[in-house]
Homo-oligomer: A and B are copies of this chain.
Amino acid sequence: MYKSGSATRRCFMSGLAATFGISRLSPFGSTTQERRQVQKSADAVRTDLQSEYDKMVKLSSNENPYGPSEAVMKAMTGAWKYANRYGYPEGGITEAIAAHHGVTPDQVLLGSGSAEVLKAADDAFLPGHLKVVGVEPTFEVVYRFATNSRAEAITVPLRDDHTADMNEIVRVTRRNARDVGLIYICNPNNPTGSVVRKDDIKLLLDSVPEDIPVLIDEAYHHFVENPDYESSLKYVLEGRNVIVTRTFSKIAALAGMRLGYGIAPREVIDQMRRVIYGSINAVVKYGGVAALQDTAYQAKIKQLNSQVRERTTAQLKILGYEIIPSDTNFFMVNVRTDVTPVREEFRKRGILVGRKFSPMDTWLRVSVGSDEDMRFFVSALREICPA
């Protein structure tokens, strides 16, 4: 396990600085020998950067710290033989997802991570001047994609208890109905970890114009134990204008492998399919099929995550920190000062934590790592921001 220390911090920074130096050292007219030297030092810098990263305590990106299950690794290794192929059988990934949710394959859209389905929704449903409605802060890439496609976002602040205000989402949507092309709800919400209550989802879907698709991002679905929560897949099965996205990045620990999907009525999927690139790595298709079947691993991860999160947040509360109750594999703690310099202090100690999520400028988002990771975190937090 990585130990904190400013020497390492210096080393990490010099690695990054050297990388930027290298970029500038690649002039158009360099000789082969010069290039070879640059190449050699670039390799050395890469190796340094990688070993620095490997040593860090990684609590910044809501990753699953335990890695893919044995069954998933076995399935992926077995698919190496398709590394050089385009036309290989896809392991039945689309059919397996469809069967898993009781839908037909034409109601499933694969993406290189569920974020690709979010981009497809923006590209399909926000042509011209149309806008996306959602809360702030949330998983904001949906807004960034929308801005790239020249649409804009209408955002609604969270309530004082940091939960999403569905009444306000409904009001804003109705007030701008002609200009709204998509509603985005992350449930549970990132970065707060709070669920949107099932009654609130029902209220939303019953209250907004039926021709506006509602995308419900259930990336953290598998971690939830809260009885007020339910998946919105049932609304897709009812034929409502709803898109539910899920990912293999979290519970299945395949973030780096890139696989997610959307489930929606066929006509909605068709509109997104026309604009998505959606060309997915062969190996992770096989990993995905194995992950769906490996329910024992999912149950183990869910339990471990919940146990470590509850132990950590209970300890922090006893120490006097304010915590937002979480149903996910991350939580927010109030550090009562701007998060950006705090994040840098953690980095100096070899710990990566979440960035600032404005306007919640004093709330630090911390992913749930291993038990040991969390002990490092708590000890560093007490040093950096005493309660």
* A283 contacts partner chain B, Cβ-Cβ < 8 Å: yes
CB-CB < 8 A to A99: which residues of B? 22, 26, 35, 38-39, 42
* Contact A257 B23, beta carbon cutoff 8 Å: no
* Contact A64 B42, beta carbon cutoff 8 Å: no
* Contact B46 A61, beta carbon cutoff 8 Å: no
Whole-angstrom distance from the CB of A252 to the nearest CB of chain B?
9
CB-CB < 8 A to A253: which residues of B? 83-84
CB-CB < 8 A to A22: which residues of B? 95, 99
* A136 contacts partner chain B, Cβ-Cβ < 8 Å: no
Whole-angstrom distance from the CB of A234 to the nearest CB of chain B?
10
Q: Which of B23, B35, B91 contacts A95 (CB 8 A)?
A: B23
* Contact B281 A23, beta carbon cutoff 8 Å: no
Contact with B along A218-243 (1 / 0, CB 8 A): 00000000000000000001000000
CA distance A5 to B237 in the complex (A): 44
* Contact B92 A46, beta carbon cutoff 8 Å: yes
Contact with B along A27-56 (1 / 0, CB 8 A): 111100001001100110110011001100
* Contact A23 B86, beta carbon cutoff 8 Å: no
* Contact A61 B89, beta carbon cutoff 8 Å: no
CB-CB < 8 A to A215: which residues of B? none
Q: Which of A239-292 contact B (CB under 8 A)?
A: 249, 253-258, 274-275, 277, 279-284, 289
CA distance A24 to B105 in the complex (A): 9
CB-CB < 8 A to A64: which residues of B? 84
CB-CB < 8 A to A65: which residues of B? 84
* Contact B148 A274, beta carbon cutoff 8 Å: yes
Q: Which of B66, B87, B256, B289 contacts A282 (CB 8 A)?
A: B256
CA distance A277 to B277 in the complex (A): 8
* Contact B88 A23, beta carbon cutoff 8 Å: no
* A327 contacts partner chain B, Cβ-Cβ < 8 Å: no
Q: Report, nearest first, the 6 A-B pairs whose CB atoms are least far apart.
A: A256-B282, A84-B253, A46-B92, A281-B281, A61-B86, A82-B256
Pick 20 A–B contacts, CB within 8 A, sort by A: A26-B103, A26-B104, A28-B237, A46-B289, A50-B89, A53-B88, A58-B87, A61-B85, A66-B84, A67-B81, A67-B83, A76-B83, A83-B254, A83-B255, A83-B257, A84-B253, A112-B281, A115-B279, A148-B275, A257-B283
